[in-house]
Structure 1
Amino acid sequence: MGRRLVQNITSEYLAASSLLHKRNRVMVYVEGYDDIPFWRAIFDEFETPDRRFEISTPARNDLAKGKKVVMQFIPQAGKHLILCVDSDFDYLFGELCERSRQVNQTPYLLQTYTYAIENYLCYPPSLHSVCVRATKRDTHIFEFEEFMAEYSRIIYPIFLWYAYAARVDQPTIFTLADFRNAVKINFVNVEDNGEDTLEWLEKQVEKRLRVLRSKHKQRVAEVEEFDTYLRSRGVVPEETHFYMQGHTLLDNVVATLVGTVCNALRKMAVGQILGSSRQGLPLNNELSSYNNVLSDVDELLKSNTGYRTCPLFVKLREDIVRILES
């Protein structure tokens, strides 16, 4: 029954339905519930009185979700049924494997170009604004772009091994769990813009890299060739954060980074209030008023839309325009 429903939902069916309702209805299938707000925010720009988008997980009786499920609709996709997926490594792998070819060549399938939507949520130029919304204090005490560029440069050599393991379908070479542990940051010193953290991280990466090269000597030359290939796809070490596993970036790096900066900004704000001339009840009221307007950092990161100037997002937006104008 589920399979028959999959076969019946086509772009042509939705086009006919649009004629009945005298308004273009474009169904947009995404991987999961968390993806719906992200894609909704994007398609809002393109909605008109004559065109309405409906963002949803795939229509299946078994409620199955995920990238593989979305890609089952490739034969039915069209102007009225658009498919949206995380790139994972498919954009980087280009034509190297069948699924990557499908993702890169399907006309009515949109991909993030970053590994996942979380990489956009962590776009470095937008992180200061996240801190401002969380703390209601617009003071530059940390250079996010500078830190993330250096962080990316440092982890690139082991990212290369992780991506290579995925490319040759040998995840035991360097597992996701090992990669997460190797690139995770546990502390950040705001005063030195994370310099101590980066120095510590570089030592950890060098240790891990020595182990990988020693354990897999026969693969070193292939990894070096793969490095050349990735760079030909536009990857540069300072932008590794676009292509690494999204939840690893968000949960193990950026959440810690932004949380630490926000804590510092809150302390500054509270210190300013405590140093004022107010005393007693007026002082307590001011502190209470400030605490009441603070926002949750994790929730703000999840709803961050400050990635729209990102070159990879611009590429994604151009794909949407191409589909709608075809």
Structure 2
Amino acid sequence: MFRPPISKEKYYYHAAKRFMMDAQLLRCRAAIHVEDKDDIVFWSTIFKHFRPNDRFHFIAGSRNEKGHETKGVTQCLKYIKYLNPKFFICIDSDYRYLLQERNIDINHYIFQTYTYSFENHHCYEEGLNDLCRRITTLPNHLFDFRQFLKEYSNIVYKLFLWHLYFLVADPKRFSIAEFNELASFEWQRRPDIRQNGRKELNILKNKVDRKLAQLRRAYPKADLSILEDKYKEIGLTPDTTYLFIRGHNVYDMVYMLNREVCKKVLRQAKDASAGTHPRVNLFGYRNSIDDQLKKNIQFGAYPAILKIEEDIHTLF
């Protein structure tokens, strides 16, 4: 007997109901659809901190209307009409928060990072200086991550404003890919951490300044002051830019800096001890940098994490 294909709307309606039923069977407070498996670690930590007595059923991917296993923010947003307190989604903001995209808010049962992605939260400046001790058992007296991220953010801030300007006006003139390339360091494997990364920061600044000069010549009438004021109101400043640019890039940058710091701290300890210092982890620490970095969530310390807390209190 011929059965007409189910509509897209009915498909996601029934899928949402199924997720809620699964959560109920598992005795969970709600079902939560996230973008990918990596997102579960971040969001489960968030909800465990603020809702320690609740359990949640996380879904890292689901089948689309054509039956294909799919993940990512696009798949999450396909459920937007069917979200409620028993089934909601958690997504990376990307540029949605800065651009104030409509309906992406807790009133529509959508949690967002308020930074570009969850990786930016792990790279928040407080706590990074202590990672070396947690990774190697030795303190970090070589490198100040807070100062480095502040200088990095100030270098790329104006360029980011230009990028946001064209993102709305004409994305092809200054693409996301081009901005990410310009805002990235050119080191291959070993960043130079001497003088708190001064050499690396100077190379980056020269590259960024050349692009800024090119943009000013090409668009002399462009006035970014209105954009600057607008974004300042929602948290984008010269010191916080690293929280709003592509999180994966920032995470890789912080990871590589940590790896170099740990290497040098261990090397100095080994040279100074000449066999008398207590045994330290010389080889296995590389596998734990990622683990320790993902534990760096500074609750209550900055606006983005406070907004997530506020959303949780609003929903529950």
Question: Per the shorter chain, which TM-score range?
Answer: 0.7 to 0.9
Is 1:317 the counterpart of 2:309? The answer is yes
Deviation, 1:16, is 6.4
Q: Which residue of 2 aligns with 1:262?
A: 262
Report the CA distance shift for 1:259/1:233 in structure 2 as closer, same or farther (over 3 A): same
Cα RMSD for the two superposed structures: 2.7
1:55 pairs, out of 58, 61, 64, with 58
The whole-number CA distance in structure 2 between the counterparts of 1:2 and 1:30 is 23
The aligned amino acid for 2:183 is V
Does the alignment pair 1:85 with 2:56? no
Taking the TM superposition and a 5 Å limit, the aligned residue runs for 1:221-260 are 221=223, 223-251=224-252, 253-260=253-260
- SS of the residue aligned with 2:98? helix
Q: Does 1:180 align with 2:180?
A: yes
2:40 is aligned, of 27, 36, 59, to 36
CA–CA distance in structure 1, aligned partners of residues 261 and 7 of structure 2: 48
TM-score (norm 1): 0.82
1:289-300 matches, cutoff 5 A: 290-291=281-282, 293-296=284-287, 299-300=290-291
Q: For residue 24 of structure 1, report the CA deviation from its aligned partner.
A: 4.5
Distance (Å, rounded) in 2 between the aligned partners of 1:295 and 1:2:
49
Deviation per residue, 1:164-192 (Å, 9 max, x gap)? 22223x32222233222322222654341
CA distance in 1, matches of 2:216, 2:96: 25
Q: Is the 8 A contact 1:26 1:54 kept in 2?
A: yes
Q: Any residues of structure 2 matched to 1:110-189 within 5 Å, and which?
A: 110-168=111-169, 170-185=170-185, 186=187, 188-189=191-192
Contact 1:107–1:323 under 8 Å retained in 2: no
Q: How many residues align?
A: 302
Q: Distance in 1 between matches of 2:130 and 2:285?
A: 14
8 Å CA contact 1:115, 1:246 repeated in 2: yes
More helix by share: 1
- Of residues 282, 304, 312, the one that matches 2:295 is 304
Q: 1 CA distance for matches of 2:216 and 2:259? A: 35
| Residues 24 and 56 of structure 1, relative CA distance in 2, 3 Å threshold | closer
- Stretches of structure 1 that go unaligned for 5 or more consecutive residues are 95-99, 279-285
Q: How far is 1:323 from its partner?
A: 0.7
* TM-score (norm: length of structure 2): 0.84
Give yes or no for contact 2:123–2:293 (8 Å, CA) kept in 1.
Answer: no
1:69-88: per-residue Cα shift (whole Å, max 9, x none)?
11121111111102101111
Cα distance, 1:215 vs structure 2:
2.7
Matched, 1:209 2:212: yes
Q: Supply the distance in 1 between the matched residues of 2:199 and 2:26 (Cα, whole angstroms).
A: 61
User: How far did residue 27 of structure 1 move?
Assistant: 0.2
Question: Hey, what's the Cα distance between the residues in 1 that align with 2:172 and 2:116?
Answer: 20
Equivalent residue number for residue 275 of structure 2: 276
Residue segments in structure 2 that go unaligned for 5+ positions in a row = 1-5
Shift of 1:17: 6.5
SS of 2:108 mapped into structure 1: coil
In structure 1, distance between residues paired with 2:232 and 2:276: 58
Sequence identity of aligned pairs in percent? 26
| Shift in CA distance, 18/92, structure 1 to aligned 2, threshold 3 Å | closer
The one-letter amino acid paired with 2:40 is I
Matches of 1:268 and 1:2, distance apart in 2? 65
2:78 matches 1:72: yes
Instruction: Assess if the C-alpha contact under 8 Å between 1:25 and 1:52 holds in 2.
Output: yes
CA contact (8 A) 1:258 1:297 kept: no
Per-residue CA deviations over 1:102-145 (Å, capped at 9, x if unaligned) read 21364311010011011011111121232223222123321111
Question: Which residue of structure 1 lines up, in the alignment, with residue 3 of structure 2?
Answer: none
CA gap of 1:201–1:295, structure 2 versus 1, over 3 A, is closer
